[in-house]
C-alpha cells in the first residue's frame, strides 16, 4: 500500500511550491498511492518570519490565515470527490520558529477538519536553516560562530517542540544537515549534539510519534533521506516507528525517489511502516471520526508504488 504523509501545493504555498491541490492528488493516484496526506505549511504570525522569496513577492502574513481556511475547504471538497480512489488525510506542517508558535499550532490542530500535523523545525534562533548558504552562515553566526553549536541549538529547539506538542509525525528530523559543508558527518564526534539526538529520539518513542523517512533530501542532493542512517539505526534500537513521505512541492515531486527510499529502508532492516486511517463511529452522540495508527508492510509499498 503505497502512501505519502507530507505534501504541499502551489495553490496554497505560492512561490514555494507548484500546481493545484487537485493536480497533486491526481498525480498521487497515478503513482499508486492509496493514502496521501495534505500538509500545507501553517500560517505564520509575523512578517519577520517571511522567507526572502515571500518578501520579494510582496506577501504578508495577514493573507496566511484566510489562505489556510481556503485550503481546508478545498481539501475537504477533494477528499469527498476522490474518496473512492484515495484515502486523503488533511493536516498541516507546524513550524516551530519561537515558543509562541506552540499555542498557535495547538489552536490550528484543534480544528475538527484536521487529522494530524507534522512537527518541523526550519528555523534556528528565528533564522531559516534550509533556504540558502547565506542564511545558513547567518544562523551559524547567531549560534556563536560554531556549526556544532548550531546543531545543538537545532536539536534543543526540536526537543522543545516535541515536549510541547508531541506531534504524531516528526518532519525531516535532521534537516539541519541540508546546507552543511559536511552533511554526512559522524554525529557521535560531537558528543553534545549526539546526546541531544538520542534524547529527542527517545522522546518521540516515549509519546508514540512517528519519524518520517523523507525523500526530499535525495532530490536536494544528499546521499540519504532524512533521517540519515546513523540516526535511523539509533531510533530502531529504541523501538521507534517510521512513516514515509515525499515532501512533494508539486506534481513533479510526488513519489520522487521512492524506489531509492524503499531500498534504504530495506537496508535498515525495517519491514513495517505506519500511516493513519480515519474510522467513522456511530454512537449515541452522533457520528464521530477517529484517527488510528495503521501498519503497512514495506513489501506492499514496493508492490503497489508506480514510478513516474
- CB within 8 A of 161, min separation 6: which ones? 94, 96, 102, 119, 121, 167
Asked if residue 157 lies in contact with residue 124, where contact means CB atoms within 8 angstroms, the answer is yes
Global pTM? 0.96
SS3 label, residue 293 = strand
CA 35 to chain centre: 15
Q: How far apart are CA 14 and CA 60, in angstroms?
A: 12
The region of weakest confidence among 13-17, 94-98, 234-238 is: 13-17
Element (H, E) at 144: none
Q: Which of 249, 261, 284, 292 is nearest to 10 (CA)?
A: 249
Q: Residue 227: pLDDT band by 50, 70, 90 thresholds?
A: very high
The DSSP string of 42-55 is PPPS-GGG--HHHH
Give the burial class of 62: count Cβ atoms within 10 A of its Cβ; 0-12 exposed, 13-18 middle, 19 or more buried: exposed
| Per-residue confidence band for 4, with pLDDT thresholds at 50, 70 and 90 | very high
Q: How far apart are CA 259 and CA 249, in angstroms?
A: 18
Q: What is the pLDDT of residues 65-98, one digit of tens each?
A: 999 999 999 999 999 999 999 999 999 999 999 9
Q: What is the enclosing helix (H) or strand (E) of 128?
A: strand 127-128
Average pLDDT of the residues in 11-36 = 96
Per-residue pLDDT, 287: 66
Is pLDDT at 133 greater than 80 in this prediction? yes
Fill in the DSSP letter of residue 245.
Answer: E
Strand pairing of 123-124 and 127-128?
antiparallel
- List, in order of start, the domains of the chain with CATH numbers: 2-304 (3.20.20.140)
* Averaged pLDDT, 113-139: 98
Residue 285's pLDDT band (cuts 50, 70, 90): confident
Who wins on pLDDT, 15 or 214? 214
Q: How far apart are CA 195 and CA 28, in angstroms?
A: 38
Give how far the C-alpha of residue 43 lies from the chain's centroid of Cα atoms, to the nearest Å. 15
* CA nearest to 157, candidates 128, 114, 188, 179: 128
> CB–CB of 96/120 below 8 Å?
yes
Question: Burial, 83: exposed, middle or buried (Cβ in 10 Å; 0-12, 13-18, 19+)?
Answer: exposed
Tell me the three cell numbers of residue 262: 524503499
Amino acid at each position: 500500500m503505497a502512501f505519502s504523509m507530507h505534501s504541499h501545493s502551489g495553490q496554497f504555498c505560492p512561490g514555494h511550491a507548484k500546481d493545484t491541490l487537485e493536480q497533486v492528488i491526481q498525480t498521487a493516484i497515478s503513482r499508486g498511492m492509496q493514502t496521501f496526506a495534505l500538509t500545507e505549511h501553517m500560517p505564520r504570525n509575523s512578517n519577520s518570519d517571511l522567507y526572502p522569496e515571500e518578501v520579494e513577492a510582496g506577501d504578508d502574513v495577514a493573507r496566511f490565515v484566510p489562505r489556510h481556511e481556503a485550503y481546508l475547504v478545498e481539501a475537504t471538497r477533494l477528499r469527498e470527490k476522490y474518496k473512492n480512489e484515495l484515502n486523503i488525510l488533511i493536516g498541516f506542517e507546524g513550524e516551530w520558529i519561537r515558543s509562541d508558535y506552540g499555542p498557535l499550532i495547538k489552536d490550528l490542530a484543534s480544528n475538527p477538519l484536521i487529522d494530524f500535523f507534522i512537527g518541523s523545525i526550519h528555523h534556528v534562533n528565528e533564522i531559516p536553516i534550509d533556504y540558502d548558504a547565506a542564511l545558513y552562515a547567518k544562523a551559524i553566526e547567531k549560534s556563536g560562530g560554531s556549526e556544532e553549536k548550531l546543531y545543538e541549538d537545532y536539536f534543543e529547539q526540536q526537543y522543545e517542540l516535541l515536549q510541547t506538542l508531541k506531534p504524531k509525525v516528526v518532519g525531516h528530523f535532521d534537516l539541519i544537515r541540508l546546507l552543511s559543508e559536511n552533511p554526512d558527518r559522524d554525529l557521535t564526534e560531537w558528543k553534545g549534539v549526539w546526546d541531544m539526538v538520542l534524547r529527542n529520539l527517545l522522546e518521540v518513542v516515549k509519546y508514540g510519534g512517528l519519524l518520517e523517512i523523507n525523500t526530499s533530501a535525495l532530490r536536494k542532493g544528499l546521499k540519504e533521506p532524512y533521517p540519515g542512517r546513523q540516526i535511523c539505526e539509533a531510533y530502531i534500537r529504541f523501538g521507534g516507528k517510521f512513516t514515509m513521505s515525499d515532501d512533494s512541492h508539486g506534481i513533479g515531486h510526488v513519489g520522487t525517489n521512492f524506489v531509492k527510499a524503499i531500498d534504504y529502508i530495506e537496508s535498515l532492516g525495517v519491514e513495517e511502516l505506519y500511516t493513519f486511517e480515519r474510522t467513522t463511529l456511530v454512537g449515541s452522540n452522533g457520528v464521530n471520526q477517529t484517527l488510528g495508527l495503521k501498519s503497512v508492510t514495506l513489501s506492499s509499498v514496493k508492490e503497489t508504488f508506480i514510478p513516474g
